[in-house]
Amino acid sequence: MRSILYPVVVLFFLFACFSLQAEEMPTWQQCVNEAREAHPDLSSALALLQQAEADKRITAGACLPQVSLSASSRENGTTAKDGNLFSAFSYSLLAQQLIFDGHKTANQIASNREAIKGARYNYNMVSADIRFALRSAFTQLLKAQDLVGLAGQIAERRRNNVRLISLRYQGGREHIGSLRQAEADLAQAEFEVSQAKRGLVLAQTTLASALGRDSHKPLRVRGAFRVTELLTSKPDLALLVKNNPLFQLLDTKSKAARYELNAAKSTFSPQLYLTSSIGRGTSDRLPLDAVDWNAGITVSVPIFEGGSGQARVSRAMAVLSQQNAQEKSGYLQLFNILETSWKNFQDARQMVVVRKKFLDAAMERSTIANAQYSNGLITFNDWVIIENNLVSAKKEFLNAGADMLIAEAQWIQSKGGGLDGQQE
C-alpha cells in the first residue's frame, strides 16, 4: 500500500509546484517593461516614424546629383538576297544637378523635418495611451485579486451569522424572518464570491491584452493601492498643455503646413539645373573609338499651367488655416482635460482617506454590535444594518483605492506621460 501511495504523493507535489510556477506575479515596472517591448501599437507608431524619416530622404534626394546610364543596341537589315546587315550600338551617361528652384525643395525638406517631429510626438501619444490602458488593467486585476479574498471573508462572516441566527431561532430567541434574511445574505455573499472569481479571469485577460500578449495565461500582479504622483498643489496647466505630445503634434502640423505653402508658392519660380552628358551615337563596331560629351545649364520657367499652380497655393493656404485652427482647438481641449483630471485625481485621493475613516468606524460599530446582539441588547434589525454597513465599507474602501490609481493614471495620461521613465 505504501509503495502505491508514494508515487501518487510525488506526482501531486510536482503538479502543485508546476501550478505555482506557471502563474506569473509581475510587478508594475515589469509590466511596463514588457509592454514597451512587445505592444503592437508601439511598433506601428515606430513604423510611422521610420516612414517619415524615409520621406525626408526621398525629398532630400532632389538636391543631390541625378545620374543615369542608358544603352541600346539594334540591327538593321533587308530580306533581299544580297541585303546588308547593319549593327548599331549607342550609350549615354547623363548627370543633372539642381542649382535653384525657388527654395521649393528646401521648404519640402523642412516640412518633412516637422513630419518627423510629429511622428515622434505621435509615438509619445501612443505610449501615453498604452500606459493608461495598462495601468487601468493592472489596477483592475489588483482590485479583482483583493475582491476575491474580501468576498470570501464576507461569505464566511455571513455563514457564521446564519449559524448564530439558527441557534437563536432554535432557542426561541429569534423569529423565522431573521433566519431567512441571514440565509438570503449568505446566498448573496456566495454569489459575489463566484462573481469575483469570474471578474478575476476577465481582469487577467484584459491585462494580458494590455501587455500585447498573444496568449493569455494565469497571472497575478504584485502591488499596492499607492500613488506615485505626490503633488498636492496645482501645477501650471498652461505649461503642461504646451508640453503635451498632442499639442506638440498639432504645432508641428501647423509648421509643416506653412512650409508646404512656401513650397507651393515656389512653383512659380524658375528652376535652374546644371546638366552634363557623355556618350556615343550609332556605330557598327565595338569598342567605340570616339565619344561625344556636352555640358550646360538648363533653365525652366513656368508660364502657364492651366491655373494648377494657383490652385495648389490656395489649397496650401486652406490647409494652413485648418491646422492653425486645430492647434488652438487642441489647446483648449487639453486644458479642460487637464483641469478635469487634476480635479478627479485630488477627489479620489481624498475619498480614500474618507472611506478609511468609514471603514474604521464600521469595524468598531460591528465589534460592539456583535457583543450587544449576543447579550440581547439590540434587535436583529439594528444588528444586521450594522453588519451590512461593515460589508459596504470594506467594498467601498477597496473601490476607492482602485479609483485613486485609475484617476492618477488619467492625470498622467493627460500630461502625456508614457511608458518611458515610469516607476512603481
Q: What are the pLDDT digits (tens) for 119-159?
A: 999 999 999 999 999 999 999 999 999 999 999 999 999 99
CA atoms of 320 and 248, how far apart (whole Å) = 16
Cell of 107: 521648404
Q: Alpha carbon of 376 to those of 30, 192, 373, 381: distances in Å? A: 54, 30, 5, 12
125-139, 279-293, 336-350: least confidently modelled range: 279-293
Tell me the β-bridge partners of 298. Answer: 273
Residue type, 398: L
Structure confidence at residue 102 (pLDDT)? 80
Q: Which residue has the higher pLDDT, 100 or 372?
A: 372
Structure confidence at residue 14 (pLDDT)? 44
CA atoms of 159 and 138, how far apart (whole Å) = 32
Mean pLDDT throughout 104-118?
A: 91
Taking CB atoms within 8 Å and a gap of at least 24, the contacts of 228-231 are 228/408, 228/423, 228/424, 229/345, 229/408, 229/411, 229/412
Residue type, 62: A
Cα 416 versus chain centre, distance: 11
Mean pLDDT throughout 204-226?
A: 91
pLDDT at 6 over 50: no
Structure confidence at residue 21 (pLDDT)? 47
Please answer whether residues 346 and 354 qualify as being in contact, where contact means their C-beta atoms are separated by less than 8 angstroms: no
Please answer whether residues 87 and 284 qualify as being in contact, where contact means their C-beta atoms are separated by less than 8 angstroms: yes
Confidence category of residue 95, pLDDT binned at 50, 70, 90: confident
Confidence category of residue 287, pLDDT binned at 50, 70, 90: low
CA atoms of 40 and 209, how far apart (whole Å) = 10
Mean pLDDT throughout 276-284?
A: 69
CATH architecture, domain 22-75+87-415: Up-down Bundle (1.20)
Structure confidence at residue 5 (pLDDT)? 42
Tell me the β-bridge partners of 75. Answer: 87
Category of 206 on φ-ψ map: left (φ > 0), alpha (ψ -120 to 50) or beta: alpha
Domain boundaries, the chain: 22-75+87-415
Confidence category of residue 250, pLDDT binned at 50, 70, 90: very high
Q: pLDDT per residue over 55-88, tens digit each?
A: 999 988 888 888 888 887 776 655 555 555 556 6
Structure confidence at residue 231 (pLDDT)? 79
Rounded to the nearest integer, the mean pLDDT of the chain is 87
Please answer whether residues 262 and 332 qualify as being in contact, where contact means their C-beta atoms are separated by less than 8 angstroms: no
Residue type, 186: L
Mean pLDDT throughout 312-329?
A: 94
Q: Which residue has the higher pLDDT, 177 or 68?
A: 177
Tell me which residue of 234, 417, 247 sits closest to 343, measured CA to CA.
Answer: 234
pLDDT at 348 over 90: yes
pLDDT at 296 over 60: yes
Mean pLDDT throughout 301-322?
A: 87
Structure confidence at residue 10 (pLDDT)? 41
Tell me which residue of 164, 155, 150 sits closest to 188, measured CA to CA.
Answer: 155
Q: Which residue has the higher pLDDT, 243 or 300?
A: 243
Confidence category of residue 103, pLDDT binned at 50, 70, 90: confident
State what percent of residues in the chain have pLDDT above 70. Answer: 88
Element (H, E) at 379: none
In the chain, the N- to C-terminal Cα span, in Å, equals: 53
Mean pLDDT throughout 323-343?
A: 96
pLDDT at 118 over 90: yes
Q: Looking up cell 444588528, which residue turns up? A: 383
Q: Looking up cell 436583529, which residue turns up? A: 380
Cell of 229: 504622483
Question: Which 8-state DSSP code applies to residue 154?
Answer: H
132-136, 140-144, 174-178, 192-196: least confidently modelled range: 174-178
State what percent of residues in the chain have pLDDT above 90. Answer: 63
pLDDT at 238 over 50: yes
pLDDT at 267 over 50: yes
DSSP string of 216-249? ---B--B--S--S----S---HHHHHHHSHHHHH
Tell me which residue of 47, 130, 222, 27 sits closest to 417, measured CA to CA.
Answer: 130
Tell me which residue of 258, 275, 138 sits closest to 204, measured CA to CA.
Answer: 138
Structure confidence at residue 1 (pLDDT)? 42
Tell me which residue of 132, 127, 104 sits closest to 48, measured CA to CA.
Answer: 127
pLDDT at 20 over 70: no
Composition of the chain by helix, strand, coil, percent to 5: 70, 10, 20
Mean pLDDT throughout 376-392?
A: 92
pLDDT at 54 over 60: yes
CB atoms under 10 Å from CB of 212, counted, come to 18
Structure confidence at residue 216 (pLDDT)? 79
CA atoms of 420 and 67, how far apart (whole Å) = 45
Structure confidence at residue 70 (pLDDT)? 83
Question: Which 8-state DSSP code applies to residue 82?
Answer: T
Cα-atom radius of gyration of the chain, to the nearest Å?
Answer: 38
Structure confidence at residue 199 (pLDDT)? 96
Residue type, 53: E
Residues 6+ apart with CB under 8 A from 17: none
Confidence category of residue 281, pLDDT binned at 50, 70, 90: low
- C-alpha angle 308/310/311, rounded to 5°? 60
pLDDT at 90 over 80: no
Category of 354 on φ-ψ map: left (φ > 0), alpha (ψ -120 to 50) or beta: alpha
Confidence category of residue 22, pLDDT binned at 50, 70, 90: low
Q: Alpha carbon of 88 to those of 71, 73, 262, 287, 289: distances in Å? A: 11, 6, 49, 12, 14
